[in-house]
Structure 1
Amino acid sequence: MKHRFLAKRYWKDNSTPLGDSVGLARSYPDLINLSIGDPDLTTDERIIKAAFSDAIDGHTHYTDSFGDLELRSAIMDFYTEKYGYDVELAECMVTTSACHAMWLVMETILDDGDEVIIHEPYFTPYVQQIRLAGGIPVPVVTREENAFQLDVADLEKAITERTKAIIINTPNNPTGTCFSRETLEAIADVAREHDILIVSDDIYTAFSYAEPFIPMTTIEGMRDRTITIGSFSKDFCMTGWRIGYILAPEYIVKTVKNVNENNVFTAPSISQRAAIHALRMRSEVQPPIIEEYRKRTYYACERIGKLTNMTVLPPRGSLYLFVNIKGTGLSSAEVTRRLLEEAHVLVVPGNAFGESGEGYLRLALTVPVDKLEEAFDRISQMELFKS
């Protein structure tokens, strides 16, 4: 809305279907919510108890500006053990969520008018995070017929003299695709050739079902031009703790720290303690989480395969399915509305993730299998999707 006391950049409504879905979730008492990607599983009780024990022991103060030293060391150990990749302490900083990390990175690297390439469909906040830092988002469309892999020819066409960075997100929200090593190496070649940074949004690393996750920063020659954004939100079901981190060359991390000191100063100390315990307990905590979401993803895919006017690629990763509903002849918004009104199932229309998402729906598999069964039973009774 327009008002003289509001900054003019916010006069235009910047709300999104993702944000609007929170209000719609209250529409029906029996609603099944497949819209927001917030894992329904509560943080493992052992992590909670250990964090609160630390709080009682006095961990309720500011931490080091770069983050709790113990947590940064644990993140370093994790990368060494999991990927055989050594991170220096000065290359690691803890942030108040991965979303906050992305904004900090954009604020750190962008001059006004710099361009940032994002592969579309994309995580909705990217566009505003880039613009808030004075940058210009440049979408590059990925396609279902290519399993939503980023085509390097399309990437090359989008590069200009103002291109500063490419954001990649794999496993991907919303499509669920996982970039192959071949795709990652091709993107790396382009980044090196054109002297471009890669900002790698690595928040679903545990949910790579088809093949092991490969961090972009581990690709040969990419350490010095990759900024990795990590998170505990999805991999450990810790969304409410708001803890993420950045791995980057030391000069970038130092500048990010300086920016952050004028923002939130440090991430919450108790949440950082929880992250320490999550990493230490990951071999016990993560496997059942991963298996549960894998089970849901494959179940939903199987049910979609039995419906008319709905198709989806075989699952590869993340907590989502990006469902093709072009066979209905209706818009994503119209199908979303009908699912809500006729089946009391809430999803997000695909165009929330960029124009090329039109004709798709994103399903977040954040309810148990019995609820998914009920949701698809209702959907199967709609004339639009009856076999």
Structure 2
Amino acid sequence: MKHKFLAKRYWKDNSTPLGDSVGLAGQYPDLINLSIGDPDLTTDSRIIEAAFQDALDGHTHYTDCYGDLELREGLKDFYQQEYGYAFPLGECMVTTSACHAMWLVMETILDDGDEVIIHEPYFTPYDQQIRLAGGIPVPVVTREEDAFQLNVEDLERAITPRTKAMILNTPNNPTGTCFSRETLEAIAKVAIKHDLIVVSDDIYTAFSYAEPFIPITTLKGMRERTITIGSFSKDFCMTGWRIGYILAPEYLVTTVKNVNENNVFTAPSISQRAAIHALKLRKEIQPLIVEEYKKRTFYAYERICGLKNMSVLPPRGSLYLFVNIKATGLTSAKVTTRLLEEAHVLVIPGNAFGASGEGYLRLAMTVSVEMLKEAFDRIEQMSLFK
């Protein structure tokens, strides 16, 4: 809304279907919510109990501005053990979630008018995170017929003299695609050729079903031009703890730290302690989480394959299915409304993730298989999908 006390950049309504879905969730008492990607599993009790004990033991103060030393050392060990990737502690900083990390990064690297390429469909906040830092988002469409792999020729055509960076997200929200090694290597060549920064939003690293996740920063020539953003939210079911991190060349991390001193100063100390315990327990905790969401995703895939006017690619990664509903002849918004009103199932319309998402729905696998069965039992009774 327009008001003299509001900054003019917020006079235009910037709300999105992603955010609006929160308000719709309480509309029906029997509603099944497949909208927001918040894992329904509670953080493992061992993590909670250990963090609680740390609070009792006095870990209730500011940490180092770069983050708890033990956590940064834990992240260093994790990348060495999982990916054979070594970095000094000066290249690592803990943040108050990955979304906060993305804003910090954009604020750090962008001058007014700098362009940032984002492959579309994209995680909804990217557009505004870039704009708030003075940048210009430049979408590059990925297509279902290409399994939503980024076409490098399309990428190169989008590059201009103002292009500063590109955001990479694999496993992807919302499409669920996982970029192949071939795609990643092609992206890396383009980034090196055009001297671009790659901001790699590595949020769903544990949820790569077809093949092991590959951090693009580990590819030849990419370390010096990659900013990795990581999170404990999805990989450890710790969304509410709001804890993430950044890996980047030391000069970038130092500047990000300076920006953050004028924002939230440090990430929450207790959340950082929880992250330490999550890393230590990951081999016990993570496989069970991944197997549960994989089971749900493949179950939903099989049910969708049996419905009229719905189709979807086989699951590849993340917690999501990006469902094609173009055969209905209706917009994503109208199908979303009908699902809500007729089946009491809440999903996100695909256009929330960019214009090319029209004709799709995003379904988050954040309820049990039993609840998914109920959801699809209701959906298959709708005339639209019989």
Do they fold alike, i.e. is TM over 0.5? yes
**Aligned equivalents of 2:346 and 2:239: distance in 1?**
20
**Aligned equivalents of 2:169 and 2:52: distance in 1?**
33
Map 1:33-182; keep pairs closer than 5 Å.
Answer: 33-182=33-182
**Aligned equivalents of 2:203 and 2:73: distance in 1?**
19
**Aligned equivalents of 2:359 and 2:140: distance in 1?**
17
**Aligned equivalents of 2:178 and 2:146: distance in 1?**
12
**Aligned equivalents of 1:351 and 1:87: distance in 2?**
39
**Aligned equivalents of 2:85 and 2:65: distance in 1?**
24
| TM-superposition CA deviations, 1:52-93 (whole Å, max 9, x none) | 100000000000000000000000000000000002100000
1:332 Cα deviation (Å)? 0.1
**Aligned equivalents of 1:87 and 1:143: distance in 2?**
35
Map 1:1-387; keep pairs closer than 5 Å.
Answer: 1-386=1-386
**SS of residue matched to 1:148:** coil
CA RMSD of aligned residues (A): 0.3
Amino acid at match of 2:252: I
**Aligned equivalents of 1:160 and 1:69: distance in 2?**
40
| TM-superposition CA deviations, 1:19-74 (whole Å, max 9, x none) | 10000001100000000000000000000000010000000000000000000000
1:5 Cα deviation (Å)? 0.2
Percentage identity across aligned positions?
83
Amino acid at match of 1:71: L
Amino acid at match of 1:187: I
* Structure 2: segments with no counterpart, 5+ residues: none
**Aligned equivalents of 1:88 and 1:13: distance in 2?**
43
Amino acid at match of 2:205: T
**Aligned equivalents of 2:121 and 2:255: distance in 1?**
30
Amino acid at match of 2:170: T
**Aligned equivalents of 2:301 and 2:122: distance in 1?**
21
TM-score (norm 2): 1.00
**SS of residue matched to 1:384:** helix
**Aligned equivalents of 1:91 and 1:127: distance in 2?**
26
**Aligned equivalents of 2:225 and 2:277: distance in 1?**
30
Aligned length: 386
**Aligned equivalents of 2:219 and 2:183: distance in 1?**
11
**SS of residue matched to 2:366:** coil
Amino acid at match of 2:113: G
**SS of residue matched to 1:201:** strand
Amino acid at match of 2:278: A
**Aligned equivalents of 1:203 and 1:343: distance in 2?**
31
1:103 Cα deviation (Å)? 0.2
* Structure 1: segments with no counterpart, 5+ residues: none
**Aligned equivalents of 2:160 and 2:77: distance in 1?**
38
**Aligned equivalents of 1:147 and 1:19: distance in 2?**
27
1:257 Cα deviation (Å)? 0.1
Amino acid at match of 1:175: T
**Aligned equivalents of 2:236 and 2:347: distance in 1?**
23
**SS of residue matched to 2:383:** coil
1:361 Cα deviation (Å)? 0.1
**SS of residue matched to 1:362:** strand
TM-score (norm 1): 1.00
**Aligned equivalents of 1:124 and 1:157: distance in 2?**
23
1:233 Cα deviation (Å)? 0.2
| TM-superposition CA deviations, 1:345-380 (whole Å, max 9, x none) | 000000000000000000000000000000000000
**Aligned equivalents of 2:325 and 2:127: distance in 1?**
25
**Aligned equivalents of 1:20 and 1:192: distance in 2?**
39
